[in-house]
Structure 1
Amino acid sequence: MNYKFSHIGIPTSEEKEWDGFYEPGKIHYTKFNKDEYQIEWVKFDADSPMPELVRTIPHVAYVVANMEDALQGKDILVDIFSPGEGVRVAFIKHNGAPVEFMEVASQI
């Protein structure tokens, strides 16, 4: 499997200049591609359905060519969802930490 680094996501309880809000997950986020170090800040509403591991531990994210192949045999934390057009995301648990896989239509 070929993993291409995308970003690191860091949970916070601080207020930031949020770039967006993903309603189904109750997630506020900054755009990692605007940050020189590819950092995405994420803040979860109290009623967010996301697992505690994703809400409390920083995650590293990788772009994958095929989401189903990338997930095969992995410990899935959050099944595939689409936070925006042409993007599919899932989270796995790896050595006790969350890892995000992203499939981006324009990069396939």
Structure 2
Amino acid sequence: MDYEFSHIGIPTTEDKEWDGFYEPGKIHYTEFDIDEYKIEWVKFDDDSPMPEMIKTLPHVAYLVDNMEKALKGKKMLVETFSPGEGVKVAFIVHNGSPVEFMEIAQ
């Protein structure tokens, strides 16, 4: 399995100039692909259903070619969901930290 670095996500409680809001997860975010260091800032509403680990710990994200293969045998934190058209995302726990996998349709 090949993993290509995508970005690092850093939770914050500060207000920023948000680029978007993911309603189902109640997550405000900045666009990592326009940040020179590939940083995505994330802020969670008080009633966000996301796990505490994602709300409080930074995560590293990787692009994968096949989400099912990437997740096989991994400890799931957040099951696969689609935050936008052609994008699949899932979170696993690796050595006590969240890791995000992203599959983008070609």
TM-score by length of 1: 0.97
**Percent pairwise identity:** 75
Q: Which amino acid aligns with 1:89?
A: V
Please give the secondary structure, in 1, of the residue aligned with 2:8: strand
Separation in 2, partners of 1:54, 1:71 = 17
Instruction: Tell me if 1:15 matches 2:33.
Output: no
**Offset at residue 82 of structure 1 (A):** 0.2
Note the 1:93-108 alignment, pairs <5 A. Answer: 93-106=93-106
**Offset at residue 81 of structure 1 (A):** 0.2
Note the 1:10-89 alignment, pairs <5 A. Answer: 10-89=10-89
* Deviation readout 1:50-99 (Å, 9 max, x if unpaired): 00000000000000000000000000000000000000000000000000
Instruction: Tell me if 1:92 matches 2:87.
Output: no
User: Could you list the runs of 5+ residues in structure 1 that have no partner in the other structure?
Assistant: none
Q: Which amino acid aligns with 1:80?
A: T
The number of residues matched between the two structures is 106
Separation in 1, partners of 2:82, 2:36 = 25
TM-score by length of 2: 0.99
Runs of 4+ in 1 over 3 A off after TM superposition: none
Separation in 1, partners of 2:49, 2:103 = 22
